[in-house]
Structure 1
Amino acid sequence: MAVRDYHNILVIHLMHLGDLMLGTPVLAALRQQYPAARITLLADKKLADVVAANEHLDECLLIDKKGADGGLLGILRYAMRLRKNHYDLVINLHRNERSSALAALSGGRRIVGYAKPGFALAFDHVSPSQNQVMHEVHSHYAALRAAGVLNADGTAGLEMWIPPAAKEEAERLWQAHFAPTDKVIAINIGASWATKRWIDAYFAVVADTYLRRGYHIAVMGGPMDMEMVEKCRARMEEREHPHLHIFTGKVSLGVLAGLLSRCILFITTDSGPMHVGVAMHVPVICMFGSSPIPGFYPYDARSISVRAPVSCHPCRIHECPLAGEEHMMCMKRMPPELILQYADQILREEGERPACELPAPTDFETRVVEMADGHFALAPRGAAGRVVRSSLPQSR
């Protein structure tokens, strides 16, 4: 399909932190395709730090989904505001009711992207649901190529420009907590689903190990993660170590990004902060439970993604239905010794340099640790989309 010329483009992306981060390469691709166009992004107000300073955008509109812009009347009022801008292209990057409705009612001359049934009637091109054997970034590219909006994949990784005030606050906090020679490893314990959370006792072992080796540990996450962090900290033997720094629930997303940009490694669950870390170029090791690695892996080839060889992975459900020893076996069968082994490998590869000193990635496919011949090992390059079935190791 031939690509048309557009001059006033609206991109709608109202989902959660991780999803919004995975939409940032599309903004770069649109800017490359339409260098003279006015490009506007509509996003969730609470995630303003992630996109407000994005250099590919001319404007960032924010919607208060659970406040002034909530409910049916709020959607209708916001749609009327959008109509006044006379967009000639509207792109919806997530298939949910609110964003589908806003796109359908936006008055855009051409409307494309994902849509719920009913609202799809107002779309000129409806994209199929994201392909879970394809990374979400690549699914977006494929959808927009099929809609005649892009003529090629983009070449950018995840991107986030930190707002100036957040950058200043991150610098102040860093100087208050760390010396210039400190080596800081970030960890993120929380995740939106219980089935994405690694075992508390395992996180405790990893944190204790690095603290005893002389590293500093910076614990990240949002306010909803504070209880999880305290439970994990209670399992630590080094819970009162002066090199343990808890930032969970205490900093904005912009400050979180600024702190991560100075860390040498990020050990994390599949979560929104994981994708922020990737955008800051910090090397990531991520433990995957219920979510599929091919769809949501850390978008940087320096990263390592780990999955256990259980037949129910990826289940894509929020609560594990199994009981007894089988409960959360996808996470139980990724022991802390395994994560330490591959975390140490990343530290050797990158020379323990702060993320801000590392070059931007040019290769984006993660490396996968999976089971082969009864042992965990790095899968070959290009295996991020491959499902491997092999014998289970003995339970711990």
Structure 2
Amino acid sequence: MHLGDLMLMTPVLRTIRHNYPAAHITLLADLKLADIVQENRHINDCLFIDKKGRDDSFLGILHFARRLRKNKYDLVINLHRNERASALAALSGGKRIVGYAKPGFSLMFDHVSPDQNLIMHEIHSHYAALRAAGIIGELDDAGLQMWLPPGAEETAERLWEQHFSPGDKVIALNIGASWMTKRWIADYFAVVADTYLVRGYHVAVMGGPMDVEIVDACRVQMRERENPRLHIFTGKVSLGVLAGLLRRCILFITTDSGPMHVGVAMNVPVLCMFGASPIPGFYPYDAKSISVRAPVPCHPCRIHECPLSREEHMKCMKQMPPELILKYADQMLAENGEKPACELPRPSDFETRVVEQVDGGFILSPKGAAGRVVRPVLPKTARKQ
């Protein structure tokens, strides 16, 4: 139902195809995300639901479920946890229905899977769910995958040639996120952008139409806001074109967001700041990535709006200063030789490295830290929600 959710489905689709090479596999997704799924080579068909348009009602869901029932599916797998997805699966008429389900709808499921993304990555949670239901055996995990729709690569190449010259080093930023509590501080992004512009790098700001105001507010804080090496693509390109631009960048500094996972699929090194969401569940699925963990007891709260006030408000993000992010961004640039993502080898290991606070300072933790469970201590106002 969301961009990040669909990107995290791509290794699962590959594994399902590996286990059922002759099956006819159909993916149901949100219409606005058609760009990123309809070219997937592991499925046969796509069905699209207009969840913010004609299908955005109880009757709309019932009408869509009638369409599903006509296809007489042998197996229906639900890998999204909300009410709409649970209802569509429950009413699909599938001979067997498995996956995640909200209470009530679970009565129609043959096997209901627990939510485990607090203790393991979402992809691994999906694998565990399908194994427990007896759906898959052997895994075939090649990481996140995305194939660009027709014309998107050509458009991305044309835009790149308009904005950049051969040999330009381009760092991408993604400032927006669906939750306020996933957004790093705009002033901090401004410092990072200014620093790299002064050093002679180009900075490409990504994001969708909903991020335009956030980006504008950040740009106002920048000293280098009129620098010709600053390029704003926010709200101006499709998801497919955004992906085509990212595969030409040397680094992607981003919030925990859908575009972050697109960047992983495009093989760009990702540096991600985590506030409300748990690193074990949603880290960038690539070992060359680095994830920074908020050094506060209420992380990960999984709350959309921070309940704290004054200097405590959004303290998880405030305590990850720009100097910290620049330190590890520079490390990643050195590690990868400042090569564009399209020239880097694809990963064979998918666990992120984690920067976290230890004994008053930040360190890059050894492999395995991404899976470490952090028990949040929530403020009283948050516990009531």
The CA RMSD over aligned residues, in Å, is: 1.2
Is 1:371–1:388's contact at 8 Å kept on the other side of the alignment?
A: no
1:189 to 156, 175, 197: 175
Matched, 1:328 2:314: yes
2:120 to 131, 134, 137: 134
Matched, 1:275 2:261: yes
- Give structure 1 regions of 4+ aligned residues with deviation exceeding 3 angstroms: none
Kindly provide the amino acid, as one letter, of the partner of residue 234 in structure 2: T
Q: Return the TM-score normalized by structure 1.
A: 0.93
What CA distance in whole angstroms lies between the structure 2 residues aligned with 1:154 and 1:312? 36
Matched, 1:338 2:324: yes
The residue number in structure 2 matching 1:9 is none
2:104 to 100, 113, 118: 118
**Offset at 1:311?**
0.8
Is 1:112–1:147's contact at 8 Å kept on the other side of the alignment?
A: yes
1:155 to 141, 152, 156: 141
The residue number in structure 1 matching 2:241 is 255
Is 2:249–2:341's contact at 8 Å kept on the other side of the alignment?
A: yes
The residue number in structure 1 matching 2:129 is 143
1:349 to 307, 317, 335: 335
Kindly provide the amino acid, as one letter, of the partner of residue 272 in structure 1: G
Alignment map for 1:64-103 (pairs within 5 Å): 64-103=50-89
Is 2:35–2:148's contact at 8 Å kept on the other side of the alignment?
A: yes
Deviates more, 1:260-269 or 1:325-334: 325-334
Is 1:145–1:152's contact at 8 Å kept on the other side of the alignment?
A: no
**Offset at 1:97?**
1.5
**Offset at 1:108?**
0.9
- Render the CA deviation track for 1:60-109: whole Å, top value 9, x for unaligned: 11111122222122212211211221211110011212111111111111
**Offset at 1:387?**
4.7
Q: Return the TM-score normalized by structure 2.
A: 0.95
- Render the CA deviation track for 1:292-333: whole Å, top value 9, x for unaligned: 111110000000000132111111111111122211111111
What CA distance in whole angstroms lies between the structure 2 residues aligned with 1:152 and 1:130? 20
Kindly provide the amino acid, as one letter, of the partner of residue 5 in structure 2: D
Deviates more, 1:150-159 or 1:188-197: 150-159
Matched, 1:198 2:215: no
The residue number in structure 1 matching 2:274 is 288
Deviates more, 1:64-73 or 1:356-365: 64-73
Kindly provide the amino acid, as one letter, of the partner of residue 98 in structure 2: V
Kindly provide the amino acid, as one letter, of the partner of residue 217 in structure 1: V
The residue number in structure 2 matching 1:106 is 92
Is 1:266–1:284's contact at 8 Å kept on the other side of the alignment?
A: yes
What CA distance in whole angstroms lies between the structure 1 residues aligned with 2:324 and 2:190? 14
What CA distance in whole angstroms lies between the structure 2 residues aligned with 1:388 and 1:101? 32
- Render the CA deviation track for 1:236-264: whole Å, top value 9, x for unaligned: 00000000000001111111111101100
Is 1:268–1:287's contact at 8 Å kept on the other side of the alignment?
A: yes
Gaps of 5+ in 1: 1-14, 390-396
Gaps of 5+ in 2: 376-385
1:367 to 353, 356, 363: 353
Matched, 1:245 2:207: no
Q: State percent identity of aligned pairs.
A: 77
**Offset at 1:161?**
0.6
- Render the CA deviation track for 1:223-281: whole Å, top value 9, x for unaligned: 11111101100110000000000000111111111110110000000011101100101
Is 2:270–2:288's contact at 8 Å kept on the other side of the alignment?
A: yes
**Offset at 1:24?**
1.1
**Offset at 1:154?**
3.5
**Offset at 1:388?**
6.7
**Offset at 1:177?**
0.6
SS at match of 1:102: helix
